[in-house]
Structure 1
Amino acid sequence: MPDSKHEKPLDTTTFLRIRKWYLLALAGIALTIIVAQLLIQTHLNSQLNDSRVINVAGRQRAFSQKLVKEVLLLEEATKSEEYRQIRSEIERTVSIWKTSHEGLQKGNSDMNLPKEEDPEILSLFQNIDRHHRAMVNATEAILAKEPATVDFNKEKRILLENERDFLRLMDNIVNKYDERSNAKLQNLKQKEYFLLAFSLLILLLEMVFIFRPLSVQIRKTISNLMKTQLESDDSALKIKTLLREKEKSLQELQELNFVIDNAALFASARKDGSIVFISKKFLHLLGLSREELNKPLSELLTTDEGQQRYLKELLKSNRKNTIRSEEIAITTNAGQEFWLDISIIPMHQASKQQSILILCSDITERKKNLLKVEHLTQQNFEERMLQKKQQASQIVEGQEEERKRIAKDIHDGIGQMLTALKFNIESIDVQDTEKTKEKIAYLKGLTSDLIKGVRTATFNLTPPELSDHGIFPALHKMTVELSKLTGKRILFENKAVENIRFDSLAETNMYRVTQEAVNNAIKYAKANYILVTINFKEDILSIVIDDDGKGFDTAILGKVPNNNSEGGMGLFFMRERISYINGRLFIHSEPGKGTRVTINYRTDKPTEERLTTVGKAL
């Protein structure tokens, strides 16, 4: 029978056995990984050197061609500055070319080139040396002479004769470098395959001789542990019960600490609404003392019966394990009214005891401010509505003035001419041929004036060019007609590429605003020169009206317009019309320096789509 005092525990023996075999397995895998990494790193360093050598060798071919090209450019150089610059480039090229050629054979630490040990490549370099040396000597001979004494034909012939052989032999050297690099890569692949096979063999041996015996040992150990587990179930059950009670108490303490640390107004109540605990600040807010806490929470919070019933129902209805927030108005015993933001949090959720925690915030000031904001909002709304009514009445009044003006124009102009036409027709005596001819001639002139008056009236109402051809021809026609009627220099400049059509409402409003701006310049500004410029760029239609009139102070634009102010209602209607189409109106003026009115309107359709629509319409 073994001595129990010197026998190691089961867990210790199992751990030592597992540790020994696992260390052996991991050591074998780690060894193969380290060897593989050493091989890969060694090959990568070699590949870097080979890549650098191939790069320099390939660059030698480019430098030979660059050298010949620069010599040819030197021959063609006519200016001394150009000659010196090309000669300096040739000197740098020759220096780098010679250094690289020597470094490829003997090595160069500055260029990170190793010394070449391959006899085959060195033999190729011996064959190419004479061509290299001939080209270098020819170039140096050119550089050694003065520009006036250089005979380019001889050296150029030497360069051209040796360049082809140099390129051919350099291609062979580069190919040799490439073959040597590929051979090293193939060798590394074979070593990698060998290491892979060796690693797989180690894993197979570990599975057979390590993992399988260990699994048997672990199975036996687990069987022994299961036997002892049955013996400790009773004690474990008691320990779990104690731990659960401990966690429960700890959770209650954590909840209480959170409330104490993060809330100023808080209380705890039972299921029936009776108080468990209430903070001092809460008592001070309600005007209560500790001796008065024998009532339900709903009766302590407020003296209003309706509020008490609502709070009682609110506390009873919170049966689910959810947090509920309410904003409630309360009335204290002292008659003070407060607004509280109450959060009702269920507690003891695990035991289903429905005790609750009440967190409160005093939001009385916020509610007062909210009422003030609502009052100000209502007042602002009423002011806006009053302003809209005033604007509507002003618009109606302006429409009535426009109707009176149209009626006056028709009555004083067209009506008078029609009356004269009627009387003259009635006074014609066919028997008196001479007077009849005079009256007919007069009637022709009167009829022409009547037609002109009708056209002027209809043009002022709605020009046919606007609906038929768009705003571009309409504005052009307006400037021409007003120039004839007023004798002012009213010009039109179209900077747009084509005649583009827009929405009819937008065209009408922009036309009326432009017409109003021109009329203001004639009537109020007393302008002698008016320029209307229209442009369309990046989907924005821009109309600019410039005049050389007396100008005005733009501060009046912020005042409420009235019918007695010069141009006041006109400017008001201009702004209203532009706002209808979501456009923008800019007015810049200074007394004595004229006025500029700018109208900008952004279209909704892309330019290509609009041009296509106009093309189909045409």
Structure 2
Amino acid sequence: MERLDKRVAGSLTRFYVVALCVVAMLTISGLFLIRRTISNLNHDSRVVNVAGRQRMLSQRLTKLAILKLEGREHRDSVSFSSLLQLWKGSNESLAHRRLPVGSDFVTWKSPPLDTMFRDLAPVFDRIYQNFLLINADTVSLGDKQNALSEILANEPLFLAKMDKIVFQFDKESFERLENLERIEWILDLMTILVLIAEGLLIFRPVVNTTRRVVRMLTESEDALQLSNQMLKEANYQLLEAQKELLRVEEEKYQLQLAEDRVRAGALIEGQEEERKRFALELHDGIGQMLTGLKLHAEKLKVVQFHDEKHRRRFEQLVQLIQDTIQTTRQVSFNLMPSVLSDFGLASALRLLGEQTADSSGINIEFEGDSSQRIEMSRPMEIGLYRIAQEALNNAVKHANADMIKIKLEQNKNRIVLEISDDGKGFLISNLKSEEGFSLNRNGMENIRTRSQLLNGKMEIVSKVDSGTKLSITVNL
């Protein structure tokens, strides 16, 4: 079923279009009639002027004929023949209802004027023929005198008939003007009636409908505002609930992070304690046993071996014992360097760089003051050392660097540890991708975890073929 609003809108639109079309047609018709009448009036004035000129030309020709017969001089520059031809041509145009105006012709329909021109034709012909006799050189003076007398006798009749023709032209023009005025009044009255009908049948229903729609919209707006207010209150309550939920989730998340940190801290602390215990076991247990074994082996050097092969094997055994002792000391140092607890972090980092340089062949420099120990907590000291150890190990394994630099400085209440290299570098985005560098494989997760446990800030700067720099900032 068609909706009511569409049906009403369609009906009103049709009425409105029809009313506008009627008004437009009436207006256009009035303009057309006015334009046409004005054009006719212009043509009528042209015809009246030509008709009036005919009277003037006949009088002028008569005057010239009299002067010509009497042989008097005159100042009229126009020739008699040209005036006569103009008078004849204008009369023929008026009689045949085809008057040239510019490049066009003016025509009209008037039976009274046709009758008048038929009555005028014999008089015009008699005068014209006599003018021709006067203008002819072969005619005698007596004949010309008789022709002039004939002209003077017929001229008053010609002028009287031309006056009637001019008055008839003017009368018909005035009648057309009055007719136009009547038609204009009729069109104006019809336009007013159409506008009144439009106001009653279209405008008034539209106003009533608009008033009703506005009232309904106002009521709907009030209801909508009330609903919006209720919805706003409900949204506010929902937002409060969401904020509370987010706060609970945030507390839960922070609690979980704290638990993870405590767990990671406990795990790392347990690892460090286990490393310390294992380092002591290696140093005091296996290390001492290997040292004793080395002393007993060196005492056997005084024994003379009869077989040269046995002597070389014994020397290889002594060297193997020495290498085993050195490796045990290195493992013990890596697990828990005694220089860290005895002389502090700077000395431990310097020694770590020297040992790594000896074992890897890479130039490693330490920048820092190792003569003065930086006062910090034991867990912080161990954590920074492990971070440097892990970062240095990554640089040696993956960077393909020629130069590695370890920098430790104290800036007021902050400790800044930097490990930089001139290696091949990598894209930071690859740290989180499955391909390329992996967090666990490169030890970056351990570094991140230790820096978080120390409440420190970790920053990695790296570009391909431009090296890598790891910076750890910890507040004392």
- Structure 2 length-normalised TM: 0.42
**Structure showing the higher helix proportion among its residues:** 2
Query: Which structure has the greater CA radius of gyration?
Result: 2
Instruction: Specify which structure has the bigger relative contact order, considering alpha-carbon pairs within 8 angstroms and separated by 6 or more residues.
Output: 2
- Structure 1 length-normalised TM: 0.33
